[in-house]
Amino acid sequence: MAPARRKSEVNVDVALRLLVLGYAFINFAAASMGPLGVVLLSGAICGQAGFLAIWAALGPFRLWVRWLLVLLAGFGLYFVFCLGMVASVPGFTMNDEFAEMAVGSLFIPLLLLSAQFPLWIRRTLGGWQIVLADEASRHSATEARQFGPRHMLGLMAAFAVSLSLARVAMETWWPPDRPAGLLAPEVWLGLAIGCVVVCLYSAACTLPCTWACFLARDKGRGCLVAVGIWLSVSFLPILIVGAFLPSGRSVPVAAMVVIFLHFAGMECVLMSSLRLLRFAGCVMIRTGRNATPESGDGRDPVG
């Protein structure tokens, strides 16, 4: 007979199910509203990817279980978005168009791995991880870091498979008049740049939001950090784009509004998801001496 599940484990399981259902609703609503909905809710969709990356890299339970669940959630949410597109466009059918959209799902493993990279650095070097509250005192430094040679080999294998899937997608979209299997160097360069952008995007957003939700000494300080992140990551692309515009021209106001709305949606989804996870019974610990929960109640961090 299987042992009874702990209350905290059940609560986290329920919280994750609610989050996935909420994400699916957002994706379907965004796609069904057409291009305007996608633009307005793009930040919320990116926030979902950020939370999945946080769970895959820092969350509790075994590594392969987390990765499997995150991949299943990522594929499922993407296909819900595709169904919303089918429902919103008159004459859009579930045949060639949907199949072509479905090919885009092959990029999901590579993008999720890219988003996890800065989070794994935080976990490996600092020993930080998210665990169930009633398990916090039983985690050792080795368990928390959880990145030995076998994990490195697993990561390399996952990266190789993800890269192969991305190649299949690119070759599927490759123009028919080009020779198959000979993707242009600029295609690979574009994919590499995309992965770097996702990695930097994740580092700028997921790490501070995780700190604000789990480690901030008070709620006010956490909110100030969230607002600071939003303003910083919103102004940065505006400044970068403005630097490349011809003299005398500036970034259109409409574009600036979209950028601010994008990052506001991303922040809201990330912060609310992490808060729900904490409310369900998760804490963040840092091991190296003693595994001590960091609940943001004013106690000094360990180590």
Domain definitions of the chain by residue range: 7-294
Chain centre distance of CA 82 = 19
Q: What is the pLDDT of residue 64?
A: 83
Question: pLDDT confidence of 303, banded at 50, 70, 90?
Answer: very low
Residue 118 has pLDDT above 60, yes or no: yes
Give CA–CA dist 111/194, Å, rounded.
Answer: 8
Burial, 180: exposed, middle or buried (Cβ in 10 Å; 0-12, 13-18, 19+)? Answer: exposed
Residue 56 near residue 114 (C-beta atoms within 8 A): no
Residue 1 has pLDDT above 50, yes or no: no
Q: What average pLDDT does range 97-126 have in this prediction? A: 85
Reported as a single tens digit per residue, the pLDDT across 16-41 is 999 999 999 999 998 888 777 788 88
Would you say the C-alpha torsion 238, 28, 193, 72 has a positive or negative sign?
positive
Q: Which of 48-52, 209-213, 227-231 has the highest mean pLDDT?
A: 48-52
Reported as a single tens digit per residue, the pLDDT across 182-206 is 566 777 788 888 899 899 888 888 9
Q: What average pLDDT does range 77-89 have in this prediction? A: 85
pTM of the predicted model as reported, rounded to 2 decimal places: 0.84
Give CA–CA dist 98/80, Å, rounded.
Answer: 12
Give CA–CA dist 152/165, Å, rounded.
Answer: 20
Question: pLDDT confidence of 108, banded at 50, 70, 90?
Answer: very high
Residue 223 has pLDDT above 70, yes or no: yes
* HEC readout, the chain: CCCCCCHHHHHHHHHHHHHHHHHHHHHHHHHHCCHHHHHHHHHHHHHHHHHHHHHHHHCCCCHHHHHHHHHHHHHHHHHHHHHHHHHHCCCCCCCHHHHHHHHHHHHHHHHHHHHHHHHHHHHHHHCEEEEEHHHHHHCCHHHHHCCCHHHHHHHHHHHHHHHHHHHHHHHHHCCCCCCCCCCCHHHHHHHHHHHHHHHHHHHHHHHHHHHHHHCCCCHHHHHHHHHHHHHHHHHHHHHHHHHHCCCCCCCCHHHHHHHHHHHHHHHHHHHHHHHHHHHCCEEEEECCCCCEEECCCCCCCCC
Q: What is the pLDDT of residue 142?
A: 42
CB atoms within 10 A of CB 195: 20
Give CA–CA dist 25/33, Å, rounded.
Answer: 12
Residue 47 has pLDDT above 50, yes or no: yes
